[in-house]
């Protein structure tokens, strides 16, 4: 690609080679080219093909070079809005898709603890990859190709080539399900998307979908979410009870702001729907700010007085039905 990127890549390559030879005292081969253009911005990776020394990166092991970021804090992440939790899962699936057909063959992550990951401006990245298996495992029988997890075992067939085809990919998908999706995806998913989220939970938890199908399912959710199509059956009357123009600040969870109730919405109609479902809400403001998907940040119950904002106030309180 362009000259600047080429130069940056070259500088990075030189710096990394210097670093590795200083730390490990041997030379290694590194692949930087295509990887730099991944959405994940893996900066490159090195595999242990070396002439002598014997120290450092062993044959069949890889080192991956990445940006600096914040370690993934699961507890913190659990308290963030669904959109941000979805992003972490989507990034992870994109990474696993890449790893399933990387230049080193299919790569399995052996350590899937959240501490292996970092986020850089909200985007998920991998941190040091000590524990990976590159290339498929050799086998004699199907029994050699068993994945053992605390609550489930899975077996893939031993291929005629004598390798467990797709074992790394399957291990990655199930670990993504068990360490990430289970905690991050289902809770507070937008109502119009829950059937798709449930489908992903089931196909990954049962290893019924490969990484391509899983990525497709995630991208479809992203597309629907960004387009607002999942909101199509929100009743248009939601906005009728609102009129564009008192402060009744309240808190909600998970909110983009510690004070008050700030949520991301696709449209004024969705915001009106949310406001109608919060008993304390008597107004909302569409601020000019947007999230990573382009959703608008909306402040509920709190008037944001600036020229970029649209303010809506309830005309009259809708009487509550006795059953609710």
Indicate whether 152 belongs to the interface with ligand NAG (CB under 6 A).
yes
Compute the residue count for the chain: 324
Residues 6+ apart with CB under 8 A from 277: none
Binding ligand NAG by CB under 6 A: which of 68, 121, 141, 153?
A: 153
- One DSSP character per residue, 68-94 reads --EEP-HHHHHTS-HHHHHHHHHHHHH
Of 71-79, 111-119, 121-129, 200-208, which part binds ligand NAG (CB under 6 A)?
200-208
Q: Cβ of residue 218: shortest distance to ligand NAG, in angstroms?
A: 14
Q: Cβ of residue 148: shortest distance to ligand NAG, in angstroms?
A: 5
Binding ligand NAG by CB under 6 A: which of 1, 148, 161, 317?
A: 148
111 a catalytic residue: yes
Cis bond upstream, residue 254 (ω within 30): yes
> Which is nearer to ligand NAG, 42 or 275 (by Cβ)?
42
Between CA 29 and CA 36, with CA 30 as vertex, the angle to 5 degrees is: 165
The residues in 228-247 that bind ligand NAG, with binding defined as CB under 6 A, are none
Indicate whether 202 belongs to the interface with ligand NAG (CB under 6 A).
yes
> Which is nearer to ligand NAG, 128 or 206 (by Cβ)?
206
Of 12-20, 133-141, 147-155, 263-271, which part binds ligand NAG (CB under 6 A)?
147-155
Q: How many CB atoms lie within 10 A of CB 1?
A: 9
Indicate whether 210 belongs to the interface with ligand NAG (CB under 6 A).
yes
Tokens representing residue 2 in the block:
């362009």
Whether 304 and 285 have beta carbons less than 8 Å apart is answered as yes
Whether 94 and 39 have beta carbons less than 8 Å apart is answered as yes
The active-site residue, picked from 84, 91, 111, 130, is 111
If we measure between CA atoms, which residue out of 161, 154, 87 comes closest to residue 124?
87
> Which is nearer to ligand NAG, 180 or 256 (by Cβ)?
180
Indicate whether 252 belongs to the interface with ligand NAG (CB under 6 A).
no
If we measure between CA atoms, which residue out of 144, 165, 151 comes closest to residue 206?
151
Catalytic positions: 111
Residues that bind ligand NAG (CB under 6 A): 148, 151-153, 201-202, 205-206, 210, 212
């Amino acid at each position: 690609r362009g000259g600047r990127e080429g130069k940056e890549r070259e500088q990075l390559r030189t710096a990394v080679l210097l670093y590795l030879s200083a730390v490990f005292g041997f030379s290694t081969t590194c692949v930087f080219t295509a990887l730099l253009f991944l959405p994940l911005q893996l900066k490159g990776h090195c595999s242990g093909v070396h002439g002598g020394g014997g120290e450092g990166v062993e044959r069949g092991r890889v080192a991956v070079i990445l940006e600096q970021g914040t370690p993934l804090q699961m507890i913190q992440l659990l308290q963030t809005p669904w959109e941000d939790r979805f992003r972490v899962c989507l990034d992870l699936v994109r990474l696993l898709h890449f790893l399933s057909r990387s230049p080193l063959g299919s790569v399995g992550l052996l350590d899937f603890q959240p501490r292996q990951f970092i986020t850089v401006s909200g985007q998920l990245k991998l941190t040091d990859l000590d524990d990976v298996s590159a290339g498929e495992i050799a086998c004699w029988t199907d029994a050699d190709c068993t994945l053992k997890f605390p609550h489930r075992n899975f077996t893939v067939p031993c291929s005629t080539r004598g390798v467990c085809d797709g074992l790394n990919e399957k291990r990655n998908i199930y670990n993504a399900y068990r360490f990430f999706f289970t905690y991050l995806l289902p809770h507070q998913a937008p109502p119009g998307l829950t059937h798709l989220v449930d489908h992903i939970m089931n196909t990954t938890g049962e290893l019924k979908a490969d990484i391509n199908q899983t990525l497709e399912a995630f991208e479809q959710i992203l597309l629907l979410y960004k387009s607002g199509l999942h909101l199509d059956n929100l009743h248009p009357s939601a906005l009728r009870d609102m009129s564009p123009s008192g402060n009744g600040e309240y808190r909600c969870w998970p909110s983009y702001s510690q004070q008050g109730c700030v949520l991301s919405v696709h449209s004024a109609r969705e915001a009106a729907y949310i406001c109608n479902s919060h008993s304390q809400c008597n107004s909302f403001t569409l601020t000019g700010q947007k999230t990573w998907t382009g959703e608008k940040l909306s402040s509920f119950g709190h008037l944001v007085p600036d020229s970029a904002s649209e303010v809506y106030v309830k005309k009259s309180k809708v009487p509550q039905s006795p059953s609710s």
